[in-house]
Amino acid sequence: MSKELFGRLKKIISSQLGVDEVEITLTSHLQEDLNADPISIADLIVRIEDEFNIKIPQGQAANFLTVEDILNFISDQTGEI
């Protein structure tokens, strides 16, 4: 996984959820570890779409349990590995 891609995602998560970047790992669970609620996850999705110029289908967000889930989706959509 691209360190640059992960770094960009960590900045967004940190900013949206108010979590220090050092606390964000690939295995961080959005709700359990990062205390994201449904509204903050929806806001996070919008920021990710804007940052990476991708569209995330509404139903897809339900599949985002960990940071790695989001990163894999972004990688698939952008072709960045």
- Spans of all domains in the chain: 3-78
37 is catalytic: yes
Q: Which of 37, 43, 50, 69 is catalytic?
A: 37
pLDDT digits (tens, 9 = 90+) for 49-76: 999 999 999 889 899 999 999 999 999 9
Q: How confident is the model at residue 81 (pLDDT cuts 50, 70, 90)?
A: low
Assess contact for 55 and 49: CB atoms under 8 A. Answer: yes
Give CA–CA dist 69/74, Å, rounded: 9
Polymer length of the chain: 81
CATH of 3-78, one of 1.10.10.10, 1.10.1200.10, 3.40.50.970, 1.10.3720.10: 1.10.1200.10
What count of other Cβ atoms lies within 10 Å of the Cβ of residue 69?
A: 16
Q: Which residue is it, tokens 């804007």? A: 50
Assess contact for 34 and 13: CB atoms under 8 A. Answer: yes
